[in-house]
Structures are given as structure tokens and as C-alpha cells.
């Protein structure tokens, strides 16, 4: 029923637009110049006034109505539901709805049949009621709107403002989603910090949440805060990120310089998309590559010169992650290097500088803020990356800066804490949220830092 | 002066004697012979012959798209940076063809400097802007020598008094006129023999323009200058020779005074009296 009403409203919108236009022409005696706003704006005005309130009501109804129906049915079938637990009531309602509206029914009985009839009749009533309400709103809006159409009416302002409101609503959705995610992280983390002190978590050097519980079975009551030290994870994350940046920064930056200043148009038009394909490879595929090609290679190489290399090493994960973020660095740097005005290059060339002198002394310094932000974006990306590390660097929370040993990262531990069936009230599971919060804080700090760098060194070109 | 002791200048002084003389006895610094320029399929210049006299200001005038900037950019091979651009004919600097295989374009541009239409200071300090050229060409052996070059260049560009207390501030923070004079100082700092100016005053207000024009007149003593301008008054004020371009052809060249008072060609007559362009 929702879709029917929705389509009718959309059709009404279109019709109202046309009617508004012709109405505007009519009140101005077909002389559009006499109107304050062009006829199209009058059409838009009438359509918005007519349809948008009804559309909002329809949305509210579709969200609220099922709950109201459920509540009515529950209170009406109290005889059948007495003594049932909450999940059983829910199953009852599900079956009743399935009988009434079609669907897979578990089993039927008199109570469900009764409830189904109730559902059917209630939803008929509700559909009719909402239909009448919608029609009334549309009619009221239409009458009001078409009366308001006079030559001096400022329809353009109204439409422009409505567009702005629509844009604000969309950005608000994005912002509130972010806020919601952060809040959920914070609340779950707070529950974790009730069991494990913040300082033990942030500065602890031992991580093994599997051994978190004191006691056994149903009696497990206490949590051992000693084993939730995040430092080994942070060290692992930093180590892998560092290796990745050591790989990606020079390769990405130099290829960006080649692409922007040396490559011919043909090479550029082929090489740039190919480089960007790297960004399109699923990280899981990079993971295979790291675990099956790079890690054994590094181990073999290490052993041949007499080093002990674990088969899952930070080096393997870091190198592959570096390859993964090359396109970020190169593509973004290429953009900022291209944004350095040609006039600066000409000026330098006009003084007898060679191409590489121009690039080193004029172009790169001018593009530096952008390059820094590209690098930091790549770092945030590397810190948040999971799959490669899961497959190539292992799960052992070693606190080491030796790139040949297995390490683990924050993201990998979040995955291992949440994989499988978990209860959401143990410290072990909640630790994942605290780790997520920690990670969020780190990347946020990095981004803020990057923005400050960019702001400080930004040059104004005009 | 310290900066005139550099290798390039010495070489020029040796060769001055060998320069060909124009009919009025002035040595010819640069000579264009039958210069054709194509941008892809489109021809921009047709057989341009032009002598640039030493220690003169030569003004190139003509309506937009007539090829005067293209010609200017041929003189220090700035057109090389444009892929589709082909240059035919000969351009001689001190009797040497600058399009010859053996010529190093980097050295050429150090000898034939360029000032652009829009001031384009590098995003560096005022000092670093001027020191840029001397640094890349290794003109200064010590910090003191570099300071000296920067100071003399700024003085010659008439900017020193205005900026001497803030040489560390960014060059981009100066006013438009100051920026353009900074760019001229930057060009002077590598002690070029020829300075090419592509409408150097088109982005400046009248007062800044007057200062730059005054400067051009002073620079004539030490440098050979070629200037592209849209303003015929400017050409009349600053130049000794004027060349009028039209639709890719060099229509007429002569003493500035003659061109403006007694043009030989009808097109020049029409242009300078404002009938087109």
C-alpha cells in the first residue's frame, strides 16, 4: 500500500508542477515577464506545497503503523498470549502476519487465525485512514498553493529555500550517522572501561584477552584487567604502517612526478588508470598475495642470509600494504602537482632551470601541503586496513619492532574478538569497541594534524 | 660589479666585436630569419625576419592572436615546453643558431631571460625568489656573494628600498607591481644578456606600470630588451624600435618614432590609429 500511495504522490507532484506553471501563466495573462518568478518556479512551489507534507505523513505512517498494529493485536489477543515469553509473543505475531499478508507460516492455531483476521481488518482500516488523511493534505495544500499563485508571489525564493532544506537534510543524515557510530563506540567502550581501567588498557603491555576470566563456567565473574594492554597492538600497527609508508611514499610520489611532468599524454592516459586499478583490487586478494607470495619469499630470503624470519612477518604485511596504498599517494599527489600553476614552471624554466630543478625546487615545495595530506590519508588507510594483516602478519601480540617477527594490529584483534558467536557483555567482546575507539582517536588526530599542516603551508595562487 | 664577472658575460664581451651591425651602426644582438611556427596543423608565424638591436628596447605590437607572444617565446625556446609546437627558420643569438643541436637550452635561457604577463613569484621568500637563478647556475661561491647578487638585482629592479627589511617574507605577499618587479629582479639575477617581457604591465595598475616602464628604460643600459605590449602608448614610451605583427606576419619594423608618426603600411596605420585591434 505504501508504494501505491508513494507513486500516486509522485504523480501528483508532476501534475502539480505542470498545473502550477500553467496557472502562473494564466494569472499573468500569458505574459511571463509580469511574474516575479518564472512559471517553472510557480510549478515547483505548487508541487512542494501540495505533495511534501503528505509525503512526510506517509513516511511517518510507514514507520509507526506496524508498531501500533502489533500493540492493538497484542491487547486484543491477550487470552491466547497469557503465559508466553517475549520471543514466543514475537513468533506469534510473525505467524499471524504471515497468515494475514502471505509468507512462511510456522504453524497455525485458533489464536493465530484470530490475530490474523484482526491484522487484516486493522490494516485495511489503517490504509483507508491514511489514504483519506493523505488526500486531505494534498487537497488542502493544492487549494492553498494555487490560491497563492499571483504574479507578485516570490515562488523562486520559496523553491530555492526548499532546495537548501533538502540539501541540509541530506548532509544532516551523513553527520548524524557519524555521530551515532561514535556514540555507540563510546557507550560500549564505557562499559568496557567499567571492568578494565582506562590506563591499564591504553598503557598496558600485555594483550591476551583469551585468558581474561577468573573462575570458570557460569561462575566466571571477575575480569583480569592485566591482559587488556593495547600497547603491543599499537606497536604492531605502527610498525606495519611505517613499513607500508616507506614503500608507498617514494614509489607513489615519484610515479606521480613522472605522470604529471614527464609522461607524454598517451603514457599518462594509460598509466594513470592502470595505477588506479591497484586501488580497485579487493584487499583480500592482496592478502593472498602477501601470505602466499611475499611472506614465503621474505622468509626464504631471510634464511638464505642466516636470519630467522617467521612465516608470518610484519615486513610481508607492510610491504604488501604499501603496494596497496601506492595509488592513493600517487593519484592524490598527481592531482596536487598538476594543480601547481604552469606559470611557476614557466618562470623557473625561463630562468634556465632544468626540469628536475624546477620540480625539486619549485613544484614540490608548492605542492607540499597537498602531498602531506595525501600521505596522511594513505596512513589512515593503512592503519585501518585489516585483511592483509590477518593473512600475512599473524595474530600473535608480540611487542617488537623487529619487522621479521609476527605482529598483530588493532584491526586484526577487533576482528578476532568479534568473529563467531559472542555474548555482548563480557570484557573480551567489549574490548573490541574500546580498540575501535582508540583507532578512531588515532586516525582523527592524524587527520586534524594533516589539516593543520596543509593550512599552515598552503600557498594562495590566483 | 660582482655579477658581471660571470662566465656568460665575459664570453659575450669577447664576441661583441663579431656582432653584425644594422644599417644605423647599432650591433644586432638577435636575428630572426624566416621564422615559421606551427601549432599542430595551424600556422602561427609566417617567415618572420627581425633584427633585435643591442641595448635597445624592441616593442612587439599587434592585435591579439597576431603571433607576437609566440615570436617572443621562440627567442628563448620557451615554446619547447609545448608538445605540438614546431619552429622553422633560424634565430641567431650572437651569430649562433639557438635551435642548433649543440645549444643547451638551459644555458640559452640563462642568457635570454623572461618576464611573464602575470607576476609569478615562487612560493618562497623574497630573498629565495631572487637567489633561485644564481643558486641553480652556481653563480655565487659564498653566502656573502649570493647576498650581494640578490641586493644588486633588487636594486636594479628598483625594489630594494621597499623590501630590504623583509627579505624573509613570502614573495607572494607583495603587491602586484612589486611582484612583477621581483620577477624582473629574479630574471636580472642570472645576468642575462637579453630580457624578454611578455606584456609585463597588463596585470598592473597605472602607478605600478609607470614604475616598471621607468625600470625598463634604465635596464636598457645593460641589457637588450624585447617587450610584447598591447598598449601603444607603452610601446611609444619605452621602446626605440617597434615591430608590428598582424595575422602571423611581421608587417613593419622600424624606429618607434617612425612607426607611430609615419607608418609605411596601411595596416600599421589602421592599427595605431585605432581602426582595428
Mean pLDDT of B144-158: 91
Among candidates B106, B120, B170 on the partner chain, residue whose Cβ is nearest the Cβ of A344: B120
pLDDT tens for chain A, 462 residues: list them. Answer: 788 999 999 999 999 999 999 998 888 887 878 888 888 899 999 999 999 999 999 999 989 988 888 888 888 887 777 777 777 888 888 888 888 887 777 777 888 888 888 888 888 899 999 999 999 999 999 999 989 888 888 889 999 999 999 999 999 999 999 999 999 999 989 988 888 888 888 888 888 877 766 555 544 556 677 788 888 888 888 899 999 999 999 999 999 999 998 988 899 889 888 888 888 888 888 888 888 888 888 888 888 888 777 777 888 889 999 998 998 899 889 989 998 888 899 999 888 888 899 999 999 988 888 888 888 888 988 888 888 888 887 777 777 888 888 888 888 888 888 877 667 677 788 888 899 999 999 888 988 888 887 777 665 554
Partner-chain contact B106 A341, CB within 8 Å: no
Task: Output the pLDDT for position A253.
Answer: 94
User: DSSP secondary-structure letter at B97?
Assistant: E
From CA A266, how far away is CA B5, in angstroms rounded? 46
Task: Output the pLDDT for position A92.
Answer: 83
Contact B68, B61 (CB under 8 A): yes
Chain mean pLDDT for chain B: 87
Beta bridge partners of B196: B114, B226
Partner-chain contact A350 B187, CB within 8 Å: yes
A118-142: pLDDT as tens digits? 888 888 899 999 999 999 999 999 9
Mean pLDDT of B218-232: 91
Task: Calculate the alpha carbon distances from B269 to A247, B239, B244, B274, B277 in Å.
Answer: 66, 18, 10, 9, 12
Partner-chain contact A351 B81, CB within 8 Å: no
**ipTM reported for the complex surpasses 0.90:** no
The CB density around residue A441, as the number of other CB atoms within 10 Å, is: 12
Partner-chain contact B83 A352, CB within 8 Å: no
Chain B residue numbers with beta carbons less than 8 Å from the beta carbon of A460 are 172
The CB density around residue B233, as the number of other CB atoms within 10 Å, is: 10
Among candidates B81, B107, B172 on the partner chain, residue whose Cβ is nearest the Cβ of A349: B81
Closest residue in A to B191 (Cα) is A351
From CA B54, how far away is CA B41, in angstroms rounded? 35
B165-202: pLDDT as tens digits? 999 998 888 988 899 999 999 999 998 999 999 988 88
Q: Is B202 on the interface with A (CB under 8 A)?
A: no
- Checking DSSP bridges between strand A222-223 and strand B96-97, what pairing results, if any? unpaired
Task: Output the pLDDT for position A424.
Answer: 67
Chain A residue numbers with beta carbons less than 8 Å from the beta carbon of B83 are 264-265
Chain mean pLDDT for chain A: 86
Mutate one of B7, B122, B139, B183 to test the A interface: name it (highest A CB count within 10 A).
Answer: B122
Q: What is the DSSP string of A323-341?
A: HHHHHHHHHHHHHHHHHS-
Chain B residue numbers with beta carbons less than 8 Å from the beta carbon of A358 are none
Q: Is B3 on the interface with A (CB under 8 A)?
A: no
Banded model confidence at residue B152, pLDDT cuts 50, 70, 90 = very high
Task: Output the pLDDT for position A222.
Answer: 60
Task: Output the pLDDT for position A213.
Answer: 61
Residue B36 CA, distance from chain mean position: 20
End-to-end Cα spacing for chain B: 44
Banded model confidence at residue B241, pLDDT cuts 50, 70, 90 = very high
Structural domains present in chain B: 2-272 (3.40.50.300)
Task: Output the pLDDT for position A79.
Answer: 77
Task: Output the pLDDT for position A414.
Answer: 86
Q: What is the CATH number of domain A225-457?
A: 1.10.3720.10
Chain B residue numbers with beta carbons less than 8 Å from the beta carbon of A371 are none
Q: Is A346 on the interface with B (CB under 8 A)?
A: yes
**Residue ranges of the domains in chain A?**
2-153, 225-457
Nearest to A339 by CA among B135, B123, B127: B123
Task: Output the pLDDT for position A94.
Answer: 84
Nearest to A39 by CA among A164, A153, A165: A153
Partner-chain contact A348 B132, CB within 8 Å: yes
Partner-chain contact A350 B172, CB within 8 Å: no
B114-145: pLDDT as tens digits? 999 889 999 889 999 999 999 998 888 899 99
From CA B54, how far away is CA B12, in angstroms rounded? 12
**Which residue stretches of A258-363 are H helix?**
265-280, 283-288, 295-304, 314-339, 342-350, 355-358
From CA B244, how far away is CA B236, in angstroms rounded? 12
Residue A425's Cβ-side half-sphere holds a number of Cα atoms within 13 Å equal to 3
Chain B residue numbers with beta carbons less than 8 Å from the beta carbon of A350 are 76, 78, 109, 113-116, 187
Q: Which residue has the cell 630580457?
A: B195
From CA A183, how far away is CA B187, in angstroms rounded? 59
Contact A333, A253 (CB under 8 A): yes
Q: Is A459 on the interface with B (CB under 8 A)?
A: yes
B34-66: pLDDT as tens digits? 999 999 889 999 999 999 999 999 999 998 888
**Looking at the predicted structure, is the pLDDT value of residue B12 above 70?**
no
Amino acid at each position: 500500500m505504501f508504494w501505491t500511495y508513494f507513486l500516486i504522490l509522485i504523480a501528483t507532484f508532476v501534475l502539480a508542477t505542470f498545473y502550477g506553471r500553467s496557472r502562473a501563466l494564466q494569472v499573468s495573462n500569458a505574459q511571463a515577464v509580469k511574474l516575479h518568478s518564472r512559471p517553472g518556479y510557480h510549478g515547483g512551489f505548487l508541487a512542494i506545497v501540495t505533495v511534501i507534507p503528505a509525503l512526510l505523513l506517509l513516511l511517518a505512517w510507514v514507520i509507526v503503523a506496524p508498531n501500533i498494529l502489533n500493540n492493538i493485536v497484542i491487547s486484543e489477543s491477550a487470552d491466547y498470549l497469557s503465559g508466553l515469553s517475549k520471543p514466543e509473543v514475537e513468533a506469534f505475531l510473525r505467524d499471524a502476519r504471515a497468515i494475514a499478508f502471505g509468507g512462511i507460516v510456522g504453524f497455525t492455531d485458533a489464536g493465530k487465525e484470530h490475530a490474523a483476521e484482526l491484522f487484516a481488518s486493522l490494516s485495511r482500516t489503517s490504509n483507508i485512514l491514511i489514504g483519506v488523511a493523505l488526500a486531505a493534505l494534498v487537497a488542502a495544500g493544492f487549494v492553498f498553493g494555487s490560491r497563492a499563485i499571483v504574479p507578485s508571489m516570490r515562488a523562486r525564493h520559496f523553491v530555492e529555500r526548499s532546495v537548501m532544506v533538502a540539501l541540509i537534510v541530506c548532509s544532516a543524515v551523513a553527520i548524524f550517522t557519524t555521530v551515532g557510530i561514535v556514540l555507540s563506540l563510546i557507550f560500549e567502550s564505557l562499559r568496557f572501561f567499567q571492568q578494565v581501567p582506562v590506563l591499564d588498557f591504553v598503557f598496558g603491555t600485555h594483550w591476551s584477552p583469551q585468558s581474561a576470566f577468573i573462575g570458570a563456567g557460569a561462575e566466571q565473574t571477575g575480569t583480569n584487567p592485566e591482559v587488556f594492554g593495547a600497547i603491543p597492538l599499537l606497536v604492531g600497527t605502527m610498525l606495519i604502517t611505517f613499513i607500508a609508508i616507506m614503500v608507498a611514499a617514494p614509489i607513489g610520489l615519484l610515479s606521480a612526478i613522472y605522470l604529471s611532468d614527464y609522461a607524454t599524454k598517451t603514457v599518462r592516459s594509460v598509466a594513470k588508470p592502470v595505477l588506479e586499478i591497484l586501488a580497485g583490487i579487493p584487499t583480500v586478494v592482496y592478502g593472498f598475495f602477501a601470505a602466499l607470495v611475499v611472506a614465503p619469499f621474505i622468509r626464504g630470503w631471510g634464511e638464505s642470509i642466516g636470519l630467522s624470519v617467521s612465516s608470518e612477518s610484519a615486513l610481508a604485511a607492510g610491504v604488501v600494504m604499501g603496494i596497496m596504498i601506492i595509488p592513493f599517494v600517487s593519484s592524490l599527489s598527481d592531482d596536487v602537482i598538476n594543480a601547481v600553476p604552469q606559470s611557476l614552471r614557466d618562470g623557473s624554466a625561463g630562468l634556465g632551470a632544468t626540469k628536475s630543478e624546477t620540480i625539486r625546487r619549485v613544484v614540490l615545495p608548492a605542492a607540499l601541503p597537498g602531498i602531506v595530506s595525501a600521505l596522511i590519508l594513505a596512513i589512515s588507510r593503512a592503519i585501518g586496513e585489516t585483511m592483509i594483516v590477518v593473512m600475512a602478519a599473524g595474530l600473535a601480540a608480540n611487542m617488537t619492532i623487529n619487522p621479521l617477527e609476527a605482529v598483530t594490529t588493532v584491526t586484526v584483534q577487533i576482528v578476532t574478538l568479534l568473529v563467531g558467536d559472542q555474548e555482548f557483555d563480557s570484557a573480551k567482546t567489549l574490548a573490541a569497541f574500546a580498540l575501535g575507539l582508540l583507532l578512531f582517536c588515532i586516525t582523527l588526530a592524524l587527520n586534524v594534524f594533516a589539516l593543520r599542516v596543509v593550512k599552515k603551508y598552503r600557498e594562495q595562487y590566483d | 660589479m660582482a655579477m658581471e664577472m660571470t662566465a656568460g658575460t665575459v664570453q659575450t664581451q669577447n664576441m661583441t666585436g663579431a656582432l653584425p651591425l644594422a644599417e644605423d651602426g647599432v650591433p644586432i644582438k638577435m636575428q630572426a630569419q624566416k621564422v615559421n611556427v606551427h601549432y599542430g596543423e595551424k600556422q602561427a608565424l609566417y617567415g618572420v625576419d627581425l633584427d633585435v638591436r643591442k641595448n635597445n628596447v624592441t616593442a612587439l605590437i599587434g592585435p591579439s592572436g597576431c603571433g607576437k607572444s609566440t615570436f617572443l617565446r621562440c627567442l628563448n625556446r620557451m615554446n619547447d615546453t609545448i608538445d605540438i609546437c614546431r619552429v622553422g627558420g633560424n634565430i641567431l643569438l650572437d651569430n649562433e643558431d639557438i635551435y642548433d643541436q649543440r645549444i643547451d637550452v638551459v644555458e640559452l635561457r640563462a642568457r635570454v631571460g623572461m618576464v611573464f604577463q602575470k607576476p609569478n613569484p615562487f612560493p618562497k621568500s623574497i630573498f629565495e625568489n631572487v637567489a633561485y637563478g644564481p643558486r641553480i647556475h652556481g653563480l655565487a661561491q659564498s653566502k656573502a656573494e649570493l647576498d650581494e647578487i640578490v641586493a644588486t638585482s633588487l636594486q636594479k629592479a628598483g625594489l630594494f628600498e621597499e623590501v630590504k627589511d623583509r627579505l624573509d617574507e613570502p614573495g607572494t605577499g607583495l603587491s602586484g607591481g612589486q611582484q612583477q618587479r621581483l620577477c624582473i629582479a629574479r630574471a636580472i639575477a642570472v645576468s642575462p644578456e637579453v630580457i624578454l617581457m611578455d606584456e609585463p604591465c597588463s596585470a598592473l595598475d597605472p602607478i605600478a606600470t609607470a614604475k616598471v616602464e621607468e625600470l625598463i628604460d634604465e635596464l636598457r643600459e645593460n641589457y637588450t630588451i624585447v617587450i610584447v605590449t598591447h598598449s601603444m602608448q607603452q610601446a611609444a614610451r619605452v621602446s626605440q624600435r617597434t615591430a608590428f605583427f598582424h595575422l602571423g606576419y611581421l608587417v613593419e619594423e622600424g624606429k618607434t618614432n617612425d612607426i607611430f608618426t609615419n607608418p609605411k603600411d596601411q595596416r600599421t596605420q589602421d592599427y595605431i590609429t585605432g581602426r582595428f585591434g
